[in-house]
């Protein structure tokens, strides 16, 4: 075990993948000479050369689609879309080609493509650069969606994704890149089927993913001080969702709060909430609560952005409310 950053963990995953499989290559805007917008690929161009670390023009649709084509052609591409915000420009390729080619071709094709992108708000980047769209991706049949929230997932999910026969989308929370955690450097791919209980508790289940995990854990610590033991679940895999882990916890606690940095309406939190009701209705002591972002294009000013995003205090308040509520 060594202490490393989320950024370094991604870097280590990329490097290991490039070292082990000659068909792996990384392609995206500024992954090479610049070293990656978040420095995740710094030094890789020098080590692996321009054929395998490919700087692209600003053409999200074309290079994402080219990743699909290269995957069809026997390569193992990792496409980096600099941030989720720009992925809208490639969404047609994702929804209509990457996700559908296998089924639409009657099972003839597979698209072994890994797509990475940075996601999330909280850095005062304003309305066009602060999106959380993982929930949209989780809606699309034919792909898998991962959200690493720890350094070991940041590395291990990438390696696991590269073993999947179908497209996998990895959402790296930009605000986590500089954060530190423990990494077993010998560890390779991690499980990409289950959610993880990050903190055990008996009173309430707090469910989240990605950048909100540290907030949920901090909220749980605060609540523990007040005698409320929250079980914190990190979804990890946003598609397909691991219902079993969620339901097991909620059947025990009888209460759940879902934390999601997306706008509330139509968020992934809504899906999780609906599934919990569907699967644990009679054990629910109160309606599942959601702590999401305010429904506003993200403002630049820090106090406004803070007000728009889920905060630790909001999570604590939601749990406290749940603990007293007897239903709406």
Partner 1 sequence: MPALERARGLALLQKMLLIRRFEEKAAELYSAGNIRGFLHLYIGEEAVAVGALEALSPDDAIVATYREHGHALARGIPAGAIMAEMYGKANGCSRGHGGSMHIFDVSRRFYGGYAIVGGGMPIAVGLALADQLQHRPRVTACFFGDGAVAEGEFHESLNLAALWKLPVLFLCENNRYAMGTALERHQSQTDLRRKAESYLIGAEQVDGMDVLAVAAATRRAVEAVRTGSGPRFVEFLTYRFRAHSMYDPDLYRSKDEVAQWKRRDPITTFTERLREHDLLSDAELAELERSVEAAIVDAVAEAEGGAWEPVADLLKDVHSPVTL
152 three-class SS:
helix
State yes or no: residue 89 binds ligand TPP (CB under 6 A). Answer: yes
110 contributes a contact to its own copies by CB under 8 A? no
For residue 288 the two structure tokens come to: 């599942």
Q: What residues from 90 to 119 belong to the interface with partner 1 (CB under 8 A)?
A: 92-93, 96-97, 101-110
Choosing from 58, 187, 296, 313, the residue that interacts with ligand TPP (CB under 6 A) is 58
Buried b (16+ CB within 10 A) or exposed e, 220-251: bebbeeeebebbbbbbbbbbebbeebbbbbbe
Q: What CA–CA distances, in Å, run from 192 to 51, 200, 254?
A: 29, 21, 26
Query: Rounded to the nearest 5°, which phi and psi values hold at 233?
Result: -110, 130
In the complex, least distance from residue 261 CB atom to ligand TPP, rounded to whole angstroms: 20
Considering only residues 13 to 42 of the shown chain, the ones binding partner 1 according to CB under 8 A are 25, 29-30, 32-35, 37, 39
Quick one: which of 318, 317, 248, 316 has its CA closest to 287? 318
- In DSSP terms, 53 is beta-bridged to 26
Residue of the chain from 126, 218, 317, 323 that contacts its own copies (CB under 8 A) = 126
Stretch that binds its own copies, among 51-59, 93-101, 152-160, 207-215 (CB under 8 A): 93-101
User: Which span sits near ligand TPP by CB under 6 A: 81-89, 119-127, 151-159, 210-218?
Assistant: 81-89
218 contact, one of ligand TPP, its own copies, partner 1, none, CB 5-8 Å limit per kind: none
Instruction: State which of positions 69-88 bind its own copies (CB under 8 A).
Output: 85-86, 88
SS3 130: coil
Nearest of 202, 283, 272 to residue 234 by alpha carbon:
272
Q: Which residue in the block uniquely carries the two structure tokens 């870097």?
A: 11
Q: Residues 48, 86, 136, 137: which binds partner 1 (CB under 8 A)?
A: 86
Which one of 273, 310, 312, 322 is in contact with its own copies (CB under 8 A)? Answer: 273
Which of 125, 189, 277, 307 is the binder for its own copies (CB under 8 A)? Answer: 277
Q: What is the DSSP string of 259-293?
A: EEEEESTT-HHHHHHHHHHHHHGGG-SSPPEEEEE
List, in sequence order, the alpha helices (H) in 97-177: 101-104, 134-137, 151-161
What are the two backbone dihedrals, phi and then psi, of residue 96, each rounded to the nearest 5 degrees?
-90, -20
Closest contact distance (angstroms) between CB of 163 and its own copies is 22
Catalytic annotation on 164? no
Which is closer to its own copies, CB of 57 or CB of 327? 327
d(C-alpha 317, C-alpha 311), whole Å: 10
Interface region with partner 1, contact rule CB under 8 A, candidates 3-11, 82-90, 264-272, 319-327: 82-90
Residue in 202, 300, 321, 325 binding partner 1, rule: CB under 8 A? 300
Which active-site residues does the annotation give? Answer: 60, 129
Residue ranges that bind ligand TPP, judged by CB under 6 A: 29, 58, 60, 82, 86, 89
């Amino acid at each position: 075990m060594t202490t490393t950053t989320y950024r370094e963990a991604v870097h280590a995953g990329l490097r290991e993948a490039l070292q082990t499989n000659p068909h792996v290559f990384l392609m995206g805007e500024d992954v090479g000479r610049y070293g990656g917008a978040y420095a995740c690929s710094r030094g890789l161009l020098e080590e692996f050369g321009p054929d395998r670390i490919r700087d692209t023009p600003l053409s999200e649709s074309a290079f994402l689609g080219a990743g699909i084509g290269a995957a069809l052609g026997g390569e193992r591409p990792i496409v980096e879309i600099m941030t989720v915000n720009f992925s809208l420009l490639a969404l047609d390729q994702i929804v209509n080609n990457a996700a559908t080619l296998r089924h639409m071709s009657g099972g003839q094709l597979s698209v072994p493509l890994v797509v990475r992108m940075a996601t999330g708000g909280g850095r005062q980047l304003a309305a066009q650069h602060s999106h959380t769209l993982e929930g949209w991706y989780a809606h699309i049949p034919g792909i898998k969606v991962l959200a690493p929230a720890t350094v070991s997932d940041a590395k291990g999910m990438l390696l696991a994704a590269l073993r999947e026969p179908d497209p996998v989308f990895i959402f790296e929370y930009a605000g986590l890149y500089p954060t530190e955690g423990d990494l077993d450097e010998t560890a390779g791919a991690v499980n990409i089927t289950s959610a993880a209980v990050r903190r055990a508790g008996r009173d309430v289940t707090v469910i989240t993913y990605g950048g909100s995990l540290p907030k949920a854990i901090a909220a749980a610590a605060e609540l523990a001080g007040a005698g409320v033991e929250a079980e914190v679940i990190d979804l990890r895999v946003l598609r397909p969702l691991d219902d079993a882990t969620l339901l097991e916890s909620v059947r025990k606690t009888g209460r759940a709060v879902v934390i999601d940095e997306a706008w509330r309406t139509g968020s992934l939190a809504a899906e999780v909430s609906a599934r919990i009701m569907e699967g644990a209705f009679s054990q629910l002591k109160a309606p599942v609560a959601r702590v999401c972002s305010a429904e506003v294009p993200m403002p630049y000013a820090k106090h406004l952005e803070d007000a728009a995003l889920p905060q630790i205090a909001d999570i604590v308040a939601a749990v406290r409310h749940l603990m007293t509520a007897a239903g709406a």
